[in-house]
Amino acid sequence: MTLLHGYWRSSAAYRLRIALNLKGIAYDQLSVNLKDGRQREAAHKALHPQGFVPVLNIDGEQLIQSPAILEYLEETRPEPALLPGSAAERSRLRAYAAVIGCDIHPVQNLRILQYLRKELGQDADAVTAWCQRWISDGLAALEKMAQADDRGGPYLWGGAPTMADVYLVPQMYNARRFGVEMDAFATIVAADAAARAHPAFEAARPENQPDAPEDGH
Protein backbone atom coordinates (compact mmCIF):
# COMPACT_ATOMS: atom_id res chain seq x y z
CA MET A 1 0.00 0.00 0.00
CA THR A 2 1.23 3.49 -0.84
CA LEU A 3 0.45 5.90 1.99
CA LEU A 4 0.95 9.66 1.91
CA HIS A 5 1.28 11.39 5.27
CA GLY A 6 0.35 14.98 4.46
CA TYR A 7 -1.94 17.90 5.01
CA TRP A 8 -4.50 19.31 2.61
CA ARG A 9 -2.85 22.74 2.31
CA SER A 10 0.80 21.69 2.49
CA SER A 11 2.53 22.73 -0.73
CA ALA A 12 5.02 19.88 -0.47
CA ALA A 13 2.25 17.30 -0.04
CA TYR A 14 0.34 18.96 -2.90
CA ARG A 15 3.37 18.37 -5.17
CA LEU A 16 3.39 14.71 -4.33
CA ARG A 17 -0.33 14.29 -4.91
CA ILE A 18 0.10 15.79 -8.38
CA ALA A 19 3.04 13.54 -9.24
CA LEU A 20 1.36 10.40 -7.89
CA ASN A 21 -1.74 11.21 -9.91
CA LEU A 22 0.22 11.93 -13.10
CA LYS A 23 2.04 8.62 -12.79
CA GLY A 24 -1.14 6.69 -12.02
CA ILE A 25 -0.01 5.53 -8.58
CA ALA A 26 -2.91 4.72 -6.27
CA TYR A 27 -2.41 5.90 -2.71
CA ASP A 28 -4.15 6.42 0.60
CA GLN A 29 -3.73 9.51 2.74
CA LEU A 30 -3.09 10.01 6.44
CA SER A 31 -3.71 13.57 7.58
CA VAL A 32 -1.15 15.30 9.80
CA ASN A 33 -2.92 18.44 10.99
CA LEU A 34 -0.27 21.16 10.85
CA LYS A 35 -2.50 23.81 12.43
CA ASP A 36 -2.95 21.60 15.50
CA GLY A 37 0.78 20.86 15.73
CA ARG A 38 0.49 17.14 15.01
CA GLN A 39 3.72 17.32 13.01
CA ARG A 40 5.62 18.03 16.23
CA GLU A 41 4.34 14.96 18.06
CA ALA A 42 6.75 12.15 18.81
CA ALA A 43 4.90 9.66 16.63
CA HIS A 44 5.30 11.82 13.56
CA LYS A 45 8.87 12.83 14.36
CA ALA A 46 9.72 9.14 14.46
CA LEU A 47 8.82 9.14 10.76
CA HIS A 48 10.30 12.53 9.87
CA PRO A 49 12.95 13.88 12.26
CA GLN A 50 12.28 17.48 11.20
CA GLY A 51 8.58 17.16 11.94
CA PHE A 52 7.57 18.04 8.39
CA VAL A 53 5.20 16.63 5.80
CA PRO A 54 5.09 14.78 3.52
CA VAL A 55 6.18 11.27 4.34
CA LEU A 56 5.55 8.65 1.67
CA ASN A 57 5.39 4.92 2.34
CA ILE A 58 5.91 3.17 -0.99
CA ASP A 59 7.59 -0.04 -2.18
CA GLY A 60 8.37 -0.96 1.41
CA GLU A 61 10.30 2.30 1.85
CA GLN A 62 9.62 5.30 4.07
CA LEU A 63 10.63 8.45 2.21
CA ILE A 64 10.83 12.09 3.28
CA GLN A 65 11.50 15.48 1.63
CA SER A 66 9.36 16.10 -1.43
CA PRO A 67 12.25 16.82 -3.87
CA ALA A 68 13.88 13.51 -3.00
CA ILE A 69 10.57 11.66 -3.18
CA LEU A 70 9.76 13.16 -6.57
CA GLU A 71 13.14 12.02 -7.88
CA TYR A 72 12.44 8.53 -6.50
CA LEU A 73 9.11 8.40 -8.31
CA GLU A 74 10.78 9.53 -11.53
CA GLU A 75 13.49 6.88 -11.22
CA THR A 76 11.16 4.02 -10.33
CA ARG A 77 8.19 5.00 -12.53
CA PRO A 78 9.79 6.82 -15.48
CA GLU A 79 6.58 7.06 -17.51
CA PRO A 80 5.12 9.54 -18.01
CA ALA A 81 8.39 11.43 -17.68
CA LEU A 82 8.33 14.47 -15.45
CA LEU A 83 11.98 15.16 -16.32
CA PRO A 84 12.07 14.57 -20.09
CA GLY A 85 14.67 15.49 -22.67
CA SER A 86 18.43 15.90 -22.66
CA ALA A 87 20.63 16.29 -19.60
CA ALA A 88 20.66 20.04 -20.19
CA GLU A 89 16.87 20.17 -20.45
CA ARG A 90 16.47 18.14 -17.27
CA SER A 91 18.83 20.54 -15.55
CA ARG A 92 16.65 23.44 -16.66
CA LEU A 93 13.56 21.70 -15.33
CA ARG A 94 15.26 21.10 -12.00
CA ALA A 95 16.15 24.80 -11.91
CA TYR A 96 12.47 25.72 -12.29
CA ALA A 97 11.70 23.39 -9.39
CA ALA A 98 14.53 24.82 -7.30
CA VAL A 99 13.41 28.44 -7.73
CA ILE A 100 10.17 27.41 -6.05
CA GLY A 101 11.27 24.59 -3.77
CA CYS A 102 14.45 26.23 -2.48
CA ASP A 103 13.88 29.96 -2.74
CA ILE A 104 10.14 30.74 -2.55
CA HIS A 105 8.33 28.05 -0.60
CA PRO A 106 10.65 27.74 2.44
CA VAL A 107 10.31 31.39 3.47
CA GLN A 108 6.49 31.40 3.38
CA ASN A 109 5.61 28.05 4.87
CA LEU A 110 3.68 27.65 8.11
CA ARG A 111 6.55 27.43 10.59
CA ILE A 112 8.15 30.61 9.25
CA LEU A 113 4.87 32.53 9.37
CA GLN A 114 4.20 31.28 12.89
CA TYR A 115 7.65 32.52 13.94
CA LEU A 116 6.98 35.94 12.44
CA ARG A 117 3.70 36.17 14.35
CA LYS A 118 4.58 34.61 17.69
CA GLU A 119 8.29 35.29 18.16
CA LEU A 120 8.75 38.56 16.27
CA GLY A 121 5.31 40.01 17.04
CA GLN A 122 4.35 40.79 13.46
CA ASP A 123 0.70 41.46 12.70
CA ALA A 124 -1.33 39.95 9.87
CA ASP A 125 -0.56 42.78 7.44
CA ALA A 126 3.18 42.45 7.99
CA VAL A 127 3.08 38.68 7.52
CA THR A 128 1.09 39.08 4.31
CA ALA A 129 3.57 41.69 3.04
CA TRP A 130 6.43 39.29 3.80
CA CYS A 131 4.78 36.54 1.76
CA GLN A 132 3.94 38.85 -1.11
CA ARG A 133 7.51 40.15 -1.29
CA TRP A 134 9.27 36.80 -1.53
CA ILE A 135 6.65 35.09 -3.68
CA SER A 136 6.64 38.01 -6.12
CA ASP A 137 10.44 38.08 -6.36
CA GLY A 138 10.57 34.35 -7.09
CA LEU A 139 7.73 34.41 -9.60
CA ALA A 140 9.36 37.33 -11.44
CA ALA A 141 12.48 35.22 -11.93
CA LEU A 142 10.42 32.24 -13.01
CA GLU A 143 8.54 34.37 -15.53
CA LYS A 144 11.83 35.51 -17.09
CA MET A 145 13.03 31.91 -17.30
CA ALA A 146 9.80 30.77 -18.95
CA GLN A 147 9.88 33.61 -21.46
CA ALA A 148 13.52 32.89 -22.34
CA ASP A 149 12.89 29.17 -22.82
CA ASP A 150 9.71 29.83 -24.84
CA ARG A 151 8.51 26.23 -24.92
CA GLY A 152 5.23 27.13 -26.61
CA GLY A 153 2.87 25.96 -23.84
CA PRO A 154 0.29 25.22 -22.78
CA TYR A 155 2.28 23.90 -19.81
CA LEU A 156 5.36 25.54 -18.34
CA TRP A 157 7.70 23.27 -20.33
CA GLY A 158 5.68 22.68 -23.47
CA GLY A 159 2.96 20.27 -24.47
CA ALA A 160 2.88 17.94 -21.46
CA PRO A 161 3.05 18.41 -17.68
CA THR A 162 6.52 18.15 -16.18
CA MET A 163 8.26 18.63 -12.85
CA ALA A 164 8.07 22.39 -13.48
CA ASP A 165 4.26 22.26 -13.30
CA VAL A 166 4.34 19.93 -10.29
CA TYR A 167 6.11 22.72 -8.39
CA LEU A 168 4.39 25.66 -10.06
CA VAL A 169 0.75 24.88 -9.31
CA PRO A 170 1.03 24.61 -5.50
CA GLN A 171 3.08 27.81 -5.40
CA MET A 172 0.55 29.68 -7.52
CA TYR A 173 -2.15 28.45 -5.13
CA ASN A 174 -0.20 30.11 -2.31
CA ALA A 175 0.35 33.25 -4.36
CA ARG A 176 -3.39 33.65 -4.83
CA ARG A 177 -3.99 32.88 -1.18
CA PHE A 178 -1.68 35.74 -0.13
CA GLY A 179 -3.04 38.18 -2.70
CA VAL A 180 0.05 38.43 -4.90
CA GLU A 181 -0.46 40.69 -7.93
CA MET A 182 -0.15 38.51 -11.05
CA ASP A 183 -0.31 41.00 -13.92
CA ALA A 184 3.43 40.78 -14.64
CA PHE A 185 3.43 36.99 -14.82
CA ALA A 186 1.38 36.22 -17.92
CA THR A 187 3.40 33.18 -19.02
CA ILE A 188 3.29 31.34 -15.72
CA VAL A 189 -0.33 32.33 -15.07
CA ALA A 190 -1.29 30.70 -18.38
CA ALA A 191 0.75 27.58 -17.61
CA ASP A 192 -0.83 27.32 -14.17
CA ALA A 193 -4.33 27.59 -15.64
CA ALA A 194 -3.58 24.86 -18.19
CA ALA A 195 -2.18 22.54 -15.54
CA ARG A 196 -5.07 23.07 -13.13
CA ALA A 197 -7.46 21.97 -15.88
CA HIS A 198 -5.68 18.60 -16.10
CA PRO A 199 -7.49 15.83 -14.14
CA ALA A 200 -4.36 14.85 -12.19
CA PHE A 201 -3.95 18.41 -10.91
CA GLU A 202 -7.66 18.85 -10.20
CA ALA A 203 -7.73 15.68 -8.10
CA ALA A 204 -4.72 16.97 -6.13
CA ARG A 205 -6.30 20.36 -5.40
CA PRO A 206 -6.27 21.13 -1.67
CA GLU A 207 -10.03 21.59 -1.43
CA ASN A 208 -10.53 18.12 -2.91
CA GLN A 209 -8.63 16.33 -0.14
CA PRO A 210 -10.37 14.27 2.54
CA ASP A 211 -8.97 16.42 5.38
CA ALA A 212 -9.92 19.76 3.84
CA PRO A 213 -12.21 21.67 6.23
CA GLU A 214 -15.61 22.71 4.95
CA ASP A 215 -14.85 26.40 5.48
CA GLY A 216 -11.60 26.16 3.48
CA HIS A 217 -9.41 27.41 6.34
Domains in the chain: boundaries: 3-80, 87-201
pLDDT tens for each residue of 16-50: 999 999 999 999 999 999 999 999 999 999 999 99
For the domain spanning 3-80, the CATH number is 3.40.30.10
- Provide the H-helix boundaries in 46-123: 66-76, 87-98, 110-118
For the domain spanning 87-201, the CATH number is 1.20.1050.10
CB 110 within 8 A of CB 153: no
What's the pLDDT score for residue 27? 98
pLDDT tens for each residue of 189-210: 999 999 999 999 999 999 999 9
Q: Give the pLDDT band of residue 53 (cuts 50, 70, 90).
A: very high
What's the pLDDT score for residue 216? 73
